[in-house]
Amino acid sequence: MKVTRIELEHFRNIERLEMEPGDTVNIIYGDNAQGKTNLMEALWMFTGAKSFRSARETELIQLEQPVARMVLAFEREQREQQATIAYARGRKKQVTFNRVPLESSAQLAGRFYAVVFSPAHLSFIQDGPAVRRRFLDSAICQIMPRYLDYLTDYHRVLRQRNALLKDLRKNRSLMDLLEVFDQTMAGLSANLIKIRRQYIKRLSAHSEEIYNGISHGGERLTVEYRNGFGMELPQSSSEPITPLLLEKIKKSRQEDIFYQSSQVGPHRDDIAVFLNGLEAKSFGSQGQQRSCVLSLKLSESIMIEESTGQSPVILLDDVMSELDSSRRDYLLNSLEGRQVFITCCEPAYFQGMNRGRLFKMEKGHAAERQFLGDGTAGPGLRSQPDDSWDGAALEEAFAQNGPLMSQKDEGPWQEE
């Protein structure tokens, strides 16, 4: 899977941008607040996921503009594909894939694959279990769509059980109903635990190998799944665990009633990350923690490829800071067979790069720079100044939904 072209208009601070990246490593460099992360965010949005920056959709539209538009052309299985997303203030966003309108951007999931790393992902190591569970759920959903159904069903039952626990303090006759919820919760928990445990097992093996490359064999990374029942469970996938989980849920009833919430279950799962046997959260440096998360993200890309046959695009936002030169060299030259986008501020980070393309981002515009043999940036090759933009490509992309919109003509938007 390769991005062949990205076009943005009025997306955050990017007024207009056209970019044709290379098939391997693409370095986007420039000062802070020039639009580098905005570009990475736009690419990520085509996976069908929400922004990794937790933004409201209205924040994606450039100030004082009514509409933001994005067009992505990419190659999958030697076929050209095109997706478009457009946002308008106070209106429902419009999404198309190969000119066919979609009901939501979530329907882009499974059509374009990407893995993203940003400084915000350091919270995977530093913050609480909820952050790690979100990473796990998001990663599994990309390769196993039915997992989302399991997850949705579990959280629905969990909310209902917690509501019942509050009522039980006043009405003990509801205990029979609690028995029904407990049985349902045990079965749904078993599904989630088996899937998560198997995923972490594979993720840990890949992560250990990748981290070994990043650290040049100097450190060992291990990843451990900790179920939210706080108990040892049979490791065989064929051995039923539902009866064991149900027994644990029943033992926790009195505590659940006292706290009016479920004290055990997959909603309390966690992932532990170790370096040389020591927990990375407590003993890892900033650079080591960054390398841990990076290894997990790159492992996620391998598992997507193993499960779907598609090599996802890798988006590494500000990954260079706090990595030593040997670890940067590994990133720049060891990601064979993948299209990679890396943002950074310092051109010096290019040292040791053997191939790829360079783009300087300035005031929301990306200008390609000549890549010199010593890993430095030469003169500009081409850019997209404001007066070169004719909007023809976007006009064609949005023909299915009417003409491009201006402040006077907002077009055929659907109401929220």
pLDDT tens, 20-76?
A: 999 988 999 988 888 899 999 999 999 988 888 866 888 899 998 999 999 999 999
Distance CA 360, CA 343 (A): 10
Please provide the DSSP assignment of 261-324 as one string: S--SSGGG-EEEEEETTEEHHHH--HHHHHHHHHHHHHHHHHHHHHHHS---EEEEES-STT--
Distance CA 109, CA 143 (A): 10
386 DSSP 8-state letter: G
What confidence score (pLDDT) does residue 70 get? 96
Instruction: Please say whether the beta carbons of 410 and 67 come within 8 A.
Output: yes
What confidence score (pLDDT) does residue 378 get? 57
pLDDT in tens, the chain (416 residues): 999 999 999 999 999 999 999 998 899 998 888 889 999 999 999 998 888 886 688 889 999 899 999 999 999 988 999 999 999 988 889 999 999 999 988 888 889 999 998 888 888 998 999 999 999 998 898 888 788 889 999 999 999 999 999 998 888 888 889 999 999 999 999 999 999 999 999 999 999 999 998 888 989 999 999 999 999 998 877 789 999 999 999 999 999 999 999 999 999 999 999 999 999 999 998 888 988 999 999 999 999 999 999 999 999 998 877 677 777 777 776 777 789 999 988 767 766 666 788 899 888 888 888 765 555 555 554 444 333 333 344 344 334 444 333 333 333 223 22
The encoded tokens of residue 232 equal: 């040892």
The encoded tokens of residue 51 equal: 């922004």
Smallest CA-to-CA distance from 118 within 315, 298, 332, 291 is with 315
What confidence score (pLDDT) does residue 415 get? 29
Distance CA 51, CA 315 (A): 13
Instruction: Please say whether the beta carbons of 43 and 341 come within 8 A.
Output: yes
- HSE, CB side, 13 Å, CA atoms: give it for residue 64: 2
Q: 14 pairs with which residues across the strands?
A: 11
What confidence score (pLDDT) does residue 174 get? 86
Domains of the chain: 1-20+49-113+359-372+387-416 (3.40.50), 124-282 (1.20.1050.90)
What confidence score (pLDDT) does residue 64 get? 87
Q: Specify the 3-state DSSP secondary structure of 412.
A: coil
Q: Specify the 3-state DSSP secondary structure of 217.
A: coil
What confidence score (pLDDT) does residue 347 get? 66
218 DSSP 8-state letter: S
Instruction: Please say whether the beta carbons of 14 and 8 come within 8 A.
Output: yes
Please provide the DSSP assignment of 130-182 as one string: HHHHHHHHHHHHHH-THHHHHHHHHHHHHHHHHHHHHHHTT-GGGHHHHHHHH
What confidence score (pLDDT) does residue 381 get? 47
Instruction: Please say whether the beta carbons of 393 and 71 come within 8 A.
Output: yes
- The set of residues, in sequence order, having a beta carbon less than 8 Å from that of 271 and lying 6+ positions away, is 129, 132, 133, 135, 136, 200, 223, 224, 225, 226
pLDDT in tens, 345-387: 876 776 666 678 889 988 888 888 876 555 555 555 444 433 3
Query: For the CA atoms of 72, 77, 79, 81, what is the dihedral angle to 10 degrees?
Result: -20
